[in-house]
Each structure stands twice: as C-alpha cells, then as structure tokens.
C-alpha cells in the first residue's frame, strides 16, 4: 500500500513538473483587406476625389466571407443575421439614412475587389456599403492537472484543457464611387474556459458566444459614436461634399416645426373666418 501511495505521489509530481502537455491554435477569419484587394496590393485612395454623398443615404450591409467557412469557429447564419441587425439598427436611427439593404453573402462570394462591390452597389442602387468582418482565435492548452478524481481503486487523472478565446469584429463604411473609407467601428471581445476533453465542445461553444457577444457590443457602441459624429465631420473636416435628393432638406426636425407652424396658421385662419361670420 505504501509503495502504491509513493507511486501515485511520484506520478503527481511528474505531472506537476511537466505542466502543460499540448497547445493548439485554431480560428477563422473574414478578411476585409483580402476581399477588397484580392491581388494583395493595397491601393491608397486618400488622394482620390473627395467623396460626394447624396442625402439621405442608401446603405448596403454585407458580411465579408470567411477564409474557412466550414470551421467550427465560424459564425452560423443566424449569428450573422443577428449581427447585421445590430448594425442596421444603428443606421436606422440616423435621419440622413434613407434605406438599408442587407446584401446576401453569396453575392460577395461571386467576386472580390472594389469592382465587384461597385456592381453590387449598382444592382441595389446604393451610395455607401458597410462591410462587416471578423477574426476569431482560440488557444487551447492541455493541462494534466486541470481535473483529477479519486476513485475506489485510487487516484484517477483526467487530462483537462483551458481555452482562451478572442474575437475582433469590425464594420467599415465605404463610399462606393470614390472607394474611400468614410469611417470604421471595431470591437474586441475575450473569454476563457476550463473543461475536460468530454465536455470541451459545449463549454467552448458557450465561451465562443460570449466572446462574440462582447465584441459585437463594443463594436455597436463605437458604430453609434461614429454615426453620431459623422455629420459634424463632414461639416468641420470637409470629409465629403453633400447634396440633397428631392424632398430632403437635411434637417429632420425642420419639417416637423414647419408642419406645426402650418397647422397653427390654418387654425388661426379658421378662427378669423368664424369671427367674420358672426
């Protein structure tokens, strides 16, 4: 019995000295640069013509396709749809936005580059396009001391793992005609998990959802801030020239005040006619 206990102690000591047994890295990326510049050469558009925006804007939303869509780390169709809904909600709150079109991801898989993007924008009659991309990394580390059990026959060690997950989500808004970046909104989320081999997938899936959720929350906050300041940047920094479509004056509240004034004048005129009759 003493020999058995010594053997167990020796095994435990060896495991403590060995520490981590195995490390692995996995993930998935939907690269904005790879989509816009498929040949690998990034073109500087900063010296091109200043973007000209016709308000209210017609905005397109699209997801940049992943490099490995079959990966277990890839977003599902439902998750992508929910993410685009968050982005759309941020745009819908702005009075200088007329309509929002969600572009099927399949269209972006048919071709890459600004030429393909321009064709899609022409099809939907869009002024600007918001491209959503993400990068997700999972670091898994096997640790023999993570989980241990004592059974009737003695000590039984079940190798466990720790996983660190990080997600980067980015929304980049481009003027289609000038191909210039108007603004972008990033978000980063992190999560970690400790799990056994048997329950790894379920635990990692929860941590993955948490990491994405945190990244999306931060990105949405940054997007709201960028959209709120965009109009001021156009005025103060001359980031773009602006013209107005027929029927749009550029001031959402002005039309309301005009309507109130018109109703007041009509009411006043009606009262005047009533006094004349009496």
Which sign, positive or negative, has the C-alpha torsion 229, 235, 240, 246? Answer: positive
pTM of the model: 0.76
Tens digit of pLDDT at every position of the chain (278 positions): 555 545 455 455 444 444 445 667 778 899 999 999 998 888 776 667 789 999 999 999 999 999 887 787 888 888 899 999 999 999 998 999 999 999 999 999 999 999 999 999 999 999 999 999 999 999 877 665 545 555 555 555 555 678 899 999 999 999 999 999 999 999 999 998 876 666 677 888 888 999 999 999 999 999 999 999 988 888 888 889 999 999 887 654 434 444 444 444 445 445 555 555 44
Local structure of residue 237 (DSSP, 8 states): S
DSSP 3-state assignment of 201? helix
- Smallest Cα–Cα separation from 165: which of 184, 145, 141? 141
Just give the CATH number of 21-247: 3.30.160.180
* Pairing mode, strands 241-244 and 180-196: unpaired
Dihedral angle, C-alpha 265, 267, 269, 274, nearest 10 °: -170
Domain ranges of the chain: 21-247
């Amino acid at each position: 019995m003493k020999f058995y206990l010594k053997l167990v102690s020796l095994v435990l000591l060896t495991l403590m000295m060995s520490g981590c047994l195995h490390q692995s890295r996995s993930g998935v990326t939907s690269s904005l640069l790879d989509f816009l510049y498929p040949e690998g050469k990034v073109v500087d558009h900063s010296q091109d013509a200043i973007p000209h925006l016709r308000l209210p804007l017609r905005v397109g939303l699209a997801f940049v396709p992943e490099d490995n869509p079959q990966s277990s780390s890839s977003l599902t169709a439902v998750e992508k749809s929910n993410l685009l809904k968050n982005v759309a909600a941020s745009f819908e709150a702005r009075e200088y936005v007329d309509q929002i079109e969600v572009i099927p991801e399949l269209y972006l898989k048919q071709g890459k580059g600004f030429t393909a993007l321009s064709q899609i924008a022409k099809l939907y009659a869009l002024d600007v396009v918001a491209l959503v991309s993400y990068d997700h990394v999972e670091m898994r580390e096997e640790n023999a001391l993570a989980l241990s059990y004592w059974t009737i026959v003695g000590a039984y060690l079940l190798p466990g793992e720790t996983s660190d997950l990080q997600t980067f989500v980015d929304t980049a808004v481009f003027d289609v005609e000038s191909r210039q970046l108007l603004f972008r909104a990033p978000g980063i989320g992190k999560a970690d998990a400790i799990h056994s081999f048997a329950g790894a997938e379920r635990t990692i899936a929860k941590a993955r959802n948490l990491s994405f959720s945190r990244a999306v929350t931060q990105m949405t906050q940054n997007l709201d801030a960028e959209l709120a300041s965009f109009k001021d940047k156009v005025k103060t920094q001359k980031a773009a020239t602006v013209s107005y479509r027929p029927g749009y004056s550029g001031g959402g509240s002005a039309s309301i005040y005009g309507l109130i004034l018109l109703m007041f004048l009509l009411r006043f005129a009606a009262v005047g006619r009533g006094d004349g009759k009496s």
